[in-house]
Structures are given as structure tokens and as C-alpha cells.
Amino acid sequence: MMNEKSESQQQHLETFSYDDDVTKLFVTATLIWGAVAMFLGVLVAFQLADWRLNFGIEWLTFGRLRPLHTNAAIFAFAGNGFFAGIYHSMQRLLKCRMFNDTLGRIHFWGWQLIIVCAAITLPMGLSRSKEYAELEWPIGIMITIVWVVFAVNFFGTLFKRREKHIYVAIWFYIATIVTVAVLHIVNSLAIPVSWTKSYSIYAGVQDALVQWWYGHNAVAFFLTTPFLGLMYYFVPKAANRPIYSYRLSIIHFWSLVFLYIWAGPHHLLYSALPEWVQTLGVVFSISLWAPSWGGMINGLLTIRGVWHRLRTDHTLKFLATALTFYGMSTFEGPLLSIKSVNSLAHFTSWIVGHVHSGTIGWNYFMVAGIFYYLIPYLWKTKLYSQKLGHLHFWTATIGLLFYIVSMWVAGVTQGLMWRAIDQTTGMLVYPNFVETVIRIVPMYWIRAFGGVLVLTSFLIMMYNFYKTIQGAPKKVKPEEFQAPALHAQKHEATQGHRKLEGLPAIFSVLVVIAILVGSAIEILPGLLSNHFIEENPDIKPLTALEQAGRDIYTREGCFYCHSQMIRPMPHETMRYGKRSTAAEYVYDHPFQWGSRRTGPDLARIGGKYPNMWHYRHMIDPREMTPGSIMPVYDWLIYREIDFEILPEKLTALRKVGVPYSDEEIQNAVADAKEQAESVSYMLTETGVDASIQDKEIVALIAYLQRLGVDAGESTEFQFTEENLEAEE
């Protein structure tokens, strides 16, 4: 058919080449950052198995490296990976070179600069303390600028294209670009205190809702839609046959884009979030099963007839496995969203296993499959070693299985231990949290072993690609192609969706509407009306010193392992105290509810132990809690509190709605010093040097002792036998 068309339009043919160099740049960056991300993952995995593996260095502590691992995996590895795939496929799908080569280079180098900034600032503890949105505001602005550069280049290419129809892959790319922009900007809104510190404009429940609307849609629109677009290009390409059902792809696209945006609240089930938002999140999460599996089936059935090639073709093998893992994790996701399942699984390692079956099984395997096609194609050569390709596949798959299964076992075990209540006494069977930690440490070792296999597989792939590129012919003249210009093509009568596909601007607007419906219905009521939160006059803002302590809490990433959200279940209230309510969080910028309880919940830790307990616990957690896997935080003993910045911090917080008076702001430094003296009194009484009172640990203790106190429980240190023993 192509021949017929071109014969009749021979006179209009334009000659062009593709910008493959930019793709090569992104391919190279993906390989480098992928190794870094997986190495960091393995390191933090071992840190959970053995607490000593931060080597006593604050920059290598779990709380600071975990965000670096997640950011590296998501934005550096998967991001560069899909940029490579998009730059390659969109030029071919639209039969034209990228709009502007320079914009492509700015996009590339800008993105790498952002990653380098992340790699420097996160270990330093500069963090907004919101998962996958940790980067401080100057870097956030850089992300926005680079994203706009990418968008201009992308839409510019769409407008100068030579192919009338916009293939389904491109729709997924459009959805990615517009939605990530909306998510990033809305979730990043903050008031800066300095170049390296800012406070989210949202507080408590609102912040939680916006954060997980962002967080879940980072999964949806950064790790899913671009990769689905790539799937729609590379699976037909590798199988050398068109997609199984183009009709299904239309239903797949619109239903996925419309439904996904609603799913965020499933991260906050049983929390202080309003019930109706939770229910909406659950309903839409379960609905998502349909489009996700529609897409998976569409991809897998494209391979029908060429299944035998899976034995020899690394591209097909990895893509098919990626689709299989995609199917499994998108089955597991809706399952985990069901409230009764979530009540067991939430805060456990099960969620960690689920995430990695998606990121490793889907994203890593997609990137690998695409690169086995792309690298020989771009460098005009053959793969260096087929055998290494097989070794890569099996090492990665077996490693991932070790990872997922160990996390399932760990998650279910710990979840069941937390909720176990003795039938006869009505007491918790495992009242000491640390018992449930010690029980799953062997699973942490197995997970780390699985991680080592996955990292090894990646290094094998890198070596194979390195040798492939090394052996490639140098200086190959770029291929040239011909196609008629769009305006020279005979205009057929177009209607309906076909016409829509020819109008990228209107198409993009419809995508924006599709994602804004769910966003508006879930988020706006909470933002516009504070009446959704019952007020509690007992809840007061933190003092200046406590705020300084909270900033240390966020800097160290405490919330990665400790939640601050007691769910309304008997075992939770028996273990931690009265259930958490929305009113308690109205001054929390940002919220610190957490998503994983590697250690116990801290929502009502205030007054539970004496100051001396916290002091000694930070120096040696195992002295207070034998078997604890928490790292040592001895630098808090040496580092001094930055008192001078406190007025600015309180001023910034006042701008976002915390009712500090002028007097409190003016006297912030003096008030903080006074409170520091009284907090450290109990420490110095028992022999700690008096110089402790301007050290960070005092601020952190002040904050911890305040947690949950306003809500009216455990206001005083309770002189129970257990606590007295601990004090001795």
C-alpha cells in the first residue's frame, strides 16, 4: 500500500534523516544510571539486613540513600530509558527528524545535571521529605524547565510530521508529558526558607492526598504510560507484525488514562483521610485491573505465531517477560487496594516486593528488551554475545523472584505478627515491635541476595552492550529516508477519532481533561474546604526548637522507616495508642505519615520514654532495644542546632498557614535556647556534658517528646516497670 501511495506522489517526496545521536546519548546514560541505581538498591538492602553497613557515615545512612535509590531508579534509569525509546520511535512513527537537535541536547544534559544534583543533595539530607518528590525547590524548578524543553521539542516534532495518523504509542507519550507536568508542579508547591530548605504549602491530610495523587501517578505516568507507548512500538517491531488489536489499544488508552489518576488514595487506606476519598481510590484501583490487563493481553497476543523466537530473540524474550510481570503487578496492585487486604499488607515489605515486581519486572525488562533491539540497530552492528544475553535474562529473572518471594513472606509474616491478639488474654502476642523485626531479618538477607543477582544481570548486560558498541563500525553515514510532506498528501475524508488523531493540540487537551476529572473530584474539596477536617483546639503548632527537631527528622528520612499514622484497628491502638485523627496534622508541612514500618509507629511516642532513653537510643539503638536494626545516629551528638535560621523558618511556616504570632517569631531563638536547656537538663543530671544543649539531638528529642502529646494521650512519662528498667 505504501508503494501505491508513494508512486502517485513521487514528485512530492522529501528526503530526511533521523537524529539518532540523541538516542545514543540517552541509551548510554540509562546504562550508567541503571547500574548506579541498582548498586544503591543493593547497598540499602544490605543495610536493612545489617545495620553497620552505613560504615558510621551519615551520608551513607539508609534514610538518605533510600531516596537516592528510588530517584535514581525512577528518574535516572527509567527516565533516560524511555527518553531513548521515545526519541527513537517517535521520529520513525512520524516519519520526520526531531523538531530541533539542540533542544534534544539541552533536554539530555539538563536531565543529567538534575540527576547529579540529586546525587549530591540527597545524601546531604536536603530533602522535601515527600516520596519520589524529595528534591528541593531549585532542582524542582530545573526539572520543570527541562520538561518544558522536552515538551517543546516533542510537540514541535508532532507539528512538522509527515505521517498523518498519530499512532497509539504517541498518545501514551502525550499523556506522559502533560500529566507529569501537572503532577510535578502541583505537588512541588512550597514556600522556600533558603536555597536548600522549603515547606510544602499543603499540610497534613491535604499534603498526604496531594502527595499520593502525585506518588501513585508517578508510577502511572512515569513508569507505565511511556513504557506502554514503547510497548506498542517495540513489540510489533520485534515480532514484525502489527499490534494484535488496534481497537483494543484505543479502549486501553482512554480507560487507563482516565482511571489511573483516581487511584492515589489507596496509599492512605484506614488513615485520617476522609472515608469517601478512600472509597473512590479503592473503586478506581480495582477498575484499573481491566485496562492494565487489556494492554498486557494486546501486547502478548501480538507475539502469537512467533513464540518460538522467544528462545533466540532477546528483545522478544525480555518484552514478553516484562509484559508478564506487568500483568502480575497490575493484578497485585488492585488486590492490595482492597481494604481488608490492605489492612494486612500496608506498612509491610509486601508493598516493597510489589513495587519491585513492577520496577524490575516491567521497567528494567522493558528497557533491556528495547535496548537489545536498539543498540545493534543504532550502532549498525550485531550483538556481541548471544550467550551472555541468555545469562543476563536468567540472572535477572531468578534474582527478581528471590526478591519478590522473600518480600511476600516477610510482609505477610510481619503483618500477621503485628495483628496477632491472644484469644484468652486479649493482649498482643508480640507486644515488642522488635520481635517482628528480628523474625524477618533472614528475609532481608534473601532479598539482598536477589538484589545482587539483579545487579549482576545488569552488569552482564552492560558488558555485552559495551563489547557490541566497541565492535561496531566507526563513522557510518546516517541513513536517509523519503516520505511525502504532510500538506502534499491527498486529504481523505476524515472523521471521528481519525480526525482527532490528526489534531495533536485538541487530543492533548482531551487527555488533560481526562486526568483532571479525577484529580478535581478527589483533591479540590479537601483543598477548598477545611471543614472536612474537624478542628481540635488542643492541637498547637510546634515550638521553635521542636520545629528544628522536625527538620532534623525530615533530613534524616526517619519517615522511610517510621510511620506517624495509627490506624483504627484494635492491634494498632493497643500497640501505639488512640487512633490518629485528621485534626492532629493540620500544622504538618509536610505530612510524615510514612509508608513502611521498618520500625514502630511514632505518632504517639511523645512522653513514652524519658529523654535519656532517646539520647542513648540514638547513640546505640541496641542498648535500648536489643535486636534493633536501626543505624547509629551519633552525629546528632556533635552537630550544632542552627538557631539563627529559626525565625525565618517560622515566618515561612506562617506563610503556609501555621499561626505563629509576631512575638513567637521574634523570640524564636531565645525560646528555642530556653527549651533546649530544659530538655538537656535531664541528660546533664545523669552525667552528659553540658555542651549537649546546643546539639541537634536535643532538638530531635524535643520534637519526639511532643509527638501525639496534644491529642491528649500519654502526656506524661509513664513510670511503668518496663520504662524504669529501660531508664536504668
Task: Give the single-character DSSP code of 482.
Answer: E
| CB 550 to another protein: min, Å | 31
**CA dist., res. 42 & res. 122, Å (int):** 17
User: CB-wise, 13 or 53, nearer to another protein?
Assistant: 13
288, 217 Cβ separation under 8 angstroms:
no
Grid cell digits, residue 393:
535474562
User: CB-wise, 33 or 82, nearer to another protein?
Assistant: 82
User: CB-wise, 532 or 635, nearer to another protein?
Assistant: 532
Nearest by Cα to 78 from 330, 364, 325: 364
User: CB-wise, 8 or 686, nearer to another protein?
Assistant: 8
| CB 250 to another protein: min, Å | 5
| CB 597 to another protein: min, Å | 33
| CB 710 to another protein: min, Å | 26
**CA dist., res. 699 & res. 684, Å (int):** 15
Cα dihedral 41→45→46→51 (10° resolution)? 120
| CB 102 to another protein: min, Å | 23
| CB 247 to another protein: min, Å | 5
159, 504 Cβ separation under 8 angstroms:
yes
61: helix, coil or strand? Answer: coil
Q: How many CB atoms lie within 10 A of CB 334?
A: 21
**CA dist., res. 395 & res. 388, Å (int):** 10
User: CB-wise, 180 or 243, nearer to another protein?
Assistant: 243
| CB 236 to another protein: min, Å | 5
User: CB-wise, 109 or 246, nearer to another protein?
Assistant: 246
One-letter identity of residue 643: F
Bridge pairing between strands 481-484 and 190-194: unpaired
User: CB-wise, 501 or 601, nearer to another protein?
Assistant: 501
| CB 286 to another protein: min, Å | 14
User: CB-wise, 242 or 426, nearer to another protein?
Assistant: 242
| CB 329 to another protein: min, Å | 24
Residues near 102 by beta carbon (within 8 Å), at least 6 away in sequence: none
Question: Can you give the binding site for another protein, defined by CB under 8 A?
Answer: 1-2, 6, 13, 15-16, 89, 92-93, 95, 162-163, 165, 167-169, 232-233, 236-237, 240-243, 246-247, 250-251, 254-255, 276, 479-483, 496-498, 501, 525, 529, 531-532
DSSP 377-422: HHTTS--S-HHHHHHHHHHHHHHHHHHHHHHHHHHHHHHHHHH-B-
SS3 assignment for 625-640: CCCCCCCCCCHHHHCE
Q: How far is CA 369 from CA 80, 323, 372, 398, 565, in A?
A: 15, 11, 5, 17, 41
Residues near 615 by beta carbon (within 8 Å), at least 6 away in sequence: 683, 688, 697, 701
| CB 238 to another protein: min, Å | 10
User: CB-wise, 88 or 562, nearer to another protein?
Assistant: 88
User: CB-wise, 242 or 687, nearer to another protein?
Assistant: 242
688, 513 Cβ separation under 8 angstroms:
no
